[in-house]
Amino acid sequence: MAKPNKTKRPKAENPKGFRDYFGAEVTERSRMLEQIADVYRLYGFDPLESPAVETVEALGKFLPDVDRPNDGVFAWQEEDDWLALRYDLTAPLARVFAQHRNDLPTPYRRFAMGPVWRNEKPGPGRFRQFYQCDADTVGTASVAADAEICAMLADTLEAVGIPRGDYIVRVNNRKVLNGVMEVAGVLDPSDPEKHADERGIVLRAIDKLDRLGTDGVRALLGEGRKDESGDFTKGAGLTDRQAELVMRFMGAAGLEETALWAELRALVDGSDVGEEGVSELRHIQELLVAQGYGPDRIIIDPSVVRGLGYYTGPVFEAELTFEITDEKGRPRQFGSVAGGGRYDDLVKRFTGQAVPATGISIGVDRLLAALRAKGRLDGAAVGPVVVTVMDRDRMADYQAMVGELRAAGIRAEVYLGNPKNFGNQLKYADRRESPVAIIEGADEKERGVVQIKDLVLGAQIAKDATLEEWKSQPAQFECARADLVAEVRRLLDRRG
């Protein structure tokens, strides 16, 4: 007789490109989200929440990773519609504004925070789900809005713990690059779709400058590039003259200010859109300097293009400039943690009317990783006060203690495991990163007292204190039951 097939158990593992986040990581992210929101609110932006799922038609096809399935999004068909997880928070905003524009103020200033999903090839530190914090102004063509976004980005980085000197906000204008490509013969103003594929490759190549270097970018501007694994990426197929113009444009970033503006004007000479872009950049710089944002925080950098296809004007990117070490101990700079720009045609897709817009998106997970790498987040969680259980028949007494602690704003819990082994209760408190444990046995109950165990001091004593230091600072002491909350509060305040 054949044996029945055993039920196959699912594997307890993450899908590729996804990960779990525990205690301290979630707490740190929540704290950072609130810090960022405080700055956004200070600048007059209002919060908005929109669904994680949009129609593929509403999202549009703007991702750079077009060789992935569904053009880089997670999509599925439902009846006659294709739906997808949002790949950023900007495309949904365009739909929201188009749908509710008669009820919203113009300009509309909103911020949004939440996870986004991209069907990209995962790698070390590169995940398919990550958090973004966006702020956008919809309904004004003034470059003062772009300048304001850049200033707010600088203020936000400082608010979350990145001091001046450890970051730089770089600003460029897609119109300037378009002017360069027009002069190079890769853009025809009378036929915007002509050479669109080549321009897309050029944009993605420039956007990878920090990762591929000038030689890698130059290869992608030409026939293509083979990476270390042997995979070949098709290039834009530009001639040497065309590629040289693009490389000159990128190289202008290293020039001093007077030479920079002269070079940009020379590169776009004869292109109306390019000259307009240079003028907009100069105006943004003047507005920022007037507000006190100099080159120590915000600079003009022609190498910034941003990979998304919907940008139409000024683009910005925030880069952390301090050094960290990689997994092999080699020094490197952390790189970009935020980016954005102007996207004047995104809402037009829905309304048929031009609606100018500009905004910024901060990659929260990367920013948190940068702070941890720099040692500015220790990742240590402060757990709850744990009330141990010495007599399971007196659970009501222990719950009363927890209730009093919580009413005073002190995080606390009763041990709910098997109370038979008291040592296991203290091990549990250690694993919970608990600062304090409360002990009340039958003797303490009869005398109207409790024992308070300072777990932080106890760990320090066990590690390196002398006997005399241990005697002068006992890690466990007794207090009246009525003084429980006050004594725990005093101990926690002493710990900061």
Q: Answer yes or no: is 481 within a domain.
A: yes
Tell me the CATH number at 465. Answer: 3.40.50.800
**Residue 466 pLDDT > 70:** no
Arithmetic mean of pLDDT, 369-388: 81
Per the listing, tokens 């158990």 go with 9
Query: Do 344 and 267 have their domain in common?
Result: yes
Q: Is residue 379 part of a domain?
A: no
Do residue 366 and residue 404 come from a single domain? no
Tokens of residue 27, six digits:
């707490």
Do both 233 and 330 map to the same domain?
A: yes
Let me know whether 263 and 364 are in one domain: yes
Q: Name every residue whose Cβ is closer than 8 Å to that of residue 27 and which is 6 or more positions away in sequence.
A: 381
Least confident range from 390-399, 425-434, 449-458, 463-472: namely 463-472
What average pLDDT does range 24-51 have in this prediction? 95
Region 279-302: mean pLDDT is: 95
The amino acid that residue 383 corresponds to is G
Task: Tell me the pairing of strands 298-300 and 167-173.
Answer: parallel
The predicted model gives 124-129 an average pLDDT of: 82
How do 357-363 and 232-234 pair as beta strands?
A: unpaired
Query: How many domains, in total, are found in the chain?
Result: 2
Residue 3 lies in a domain: no
Query: 268 and 170, same structural domain?
Result: yes
**DSSP SS3 for 17:** coil
Is 424 in contact with 373 (CB distance < 8 Å)?
no
Domain-embedded: residue 15: no
- pTM > 0.75: yes
| Shared-domain flag, residues 404 and 360 | no
Instruction: Give the pairing of strands 46-47 and 108-117.
Output: parallel
pLDDT bucket at 121, cuts 50 / 70 / 90: confident
% of the chain with per-residue pLDDT over 90: 58
123, 97: one domain:
yes
Burial per residue of 56-80, b for 16 or more beta-carbon CB atoms within 10 angstroms, e otherwise: bebbbebbbeeeeeebbbbbeeeee
Question: What is the C-alpha to C-alpha distance for residues 82 and 429, in angstroms, rounded to an integer?
Answer: 49
- DSSP for 287-304, please give it: HHHHTT--TTTEEE-TT-
pLDDT of residue 470: 46
| DSSP-assigned letters across all residues of 459-489 | HHHHHH--HHHHHHS-SEEEEEGGGHHHHHH
- In a domain, residue 12? The reply is no
Query: How far is Cα 278 from Cα 269, in angstroms, rounded to an integer?
Result: 11
Number of Cβ within a 10 Å radius of residue 278: 20
DSSP string, 185-219: TS--TT-TTTTHHHHHHHHHHHHTHHHHHHHHHHH
Q: What is the pLDDT of residue 205?
A: 83
Is residue 378 in a domain? no
Q: Which of 373, 401, 427 is the last residue of a domain?
A: 373
Tokens 């490509």, residue? Answer: 181
pLDDT at position 64 is 56
Please return the burial class of 270, using the count of CB atoms within 10 Å of its CB with bins 0-12, 13-18 and 19+: exposed
Cα torsion 185, 191, 195, 200: sign: positive
Mean pLDDT throughout 283-292? Answer: 96
Indicate if the pLDDT at residue 467 is higher than 60: no
Same domain, 242 and 353: yes
Residue 302: CB partners within 8 Å, gap ≥ 6? 172, 176, 177, 249, 250, 252, 253, 260, 264
What confidence tens digit (pLDDT) does each residue in 414-462 have? 999 998 899 999 999 999 989 999 999 999 999 999 999 999 887 766 6
Stretch 35-45: mean pLDDT: 97
| CA proximity to 450, closest of 400, 422, 484, 402 | 484
Candidates 46, 45, 284, 282; CA nearest to 145 is: 284
Out of 351, 373, 395, pick the residue that ends a domain.
373
Asked whether 185 and 237 are in contact (CB, 8 A), the reply is no
What is the mean pLDDT of the segment spanning 73-96?
92
Residue 69: band (very low, low, confident or very high) from pLDDT cuts 50, 70, 90? very low
- CATH number of the domain to which 312 belongs: 3.30.930.10
* Same structural domain, 178 and 292: yes
At a CB cut-off of 8 Å and minimum separation 6, what does 275 contact?
A: 179, 265, 268, 269
What pLDDT is attached to residue 196?
Answer: 80
Question: Can you tell me the distance from the alpha carbon of 117 to that of 100, in angstroms, rounded to the nearest whole number?
Answer: 25
Boundary-marking domain end, from 373, 404, 423? 373
Q: What is the pLDDT of residue 465?
A: 54
Residue 422: give the domain boundaries.
Answer: 385-495
Asked whether residue 4 is domain-assigned, the answer is no
Q: What is the chain's Cα-based Rg? A: 29
Q: What is the pLDDT of residues 192-228, one digit of tens each?
A: 788 788 887 887 887 787 778 888 888 888 888 888 7
User: From residue 267, how far is each of 83, 172, 241, 260, 270 by CA, in Å?
Assistant: 43, 14, 13, 11, 9
pLDDT one-digit tens code per residue, 296-331 = 999 999 888 886 677 899 999 999 998 776 666 677
- Indicate whether 32 and 124 sit together in one domain: yes
pLDDT single digits (tens) 147-166: 999 999 999 999 999 999 99
Same domain (yes/no): 365, 423? no
pLDDT at 123 (0 to 100)? 75
Say yes or no to pLDDT of 469 above 80: no
Q: Which residues pair with 436 in a beta bridge?
A: 454
Q: Is the pLDDT of residue 230 over 80?
A: no
The DSSP call for residue 311 is -
Q: Which two tokens stand for residue 203?
A: 């944009």
492 and 410 Cβ atoms separated by less than 8 Å: yes
Whether 323 and 421 map to the same domain: the answer is: no
Peptide bond before residue 107 is cis, with ω within 30 degrees of 0:
yes
Q: Write out pLDDT tens, residues 340-364.
A: 999 998 899 999 998 999 999 999 9
Provide the β-strand partners of residue 133: 113, 362
Question: Is 14 part of a structural domain of the chain?
Answer: no
Q: Tell me which range, 100-114, 312-326, 372-386, is most confidently predicted by mean pLDDT.
A: 100-114
Per-residue pLDDT at 4 = 66
Query: Is a pLDDT exceeding 70 seen at residue 473?
Result: no
Average confidence score pLDDT of the chain: 88
Average pLDDT over residues 401-406: 97
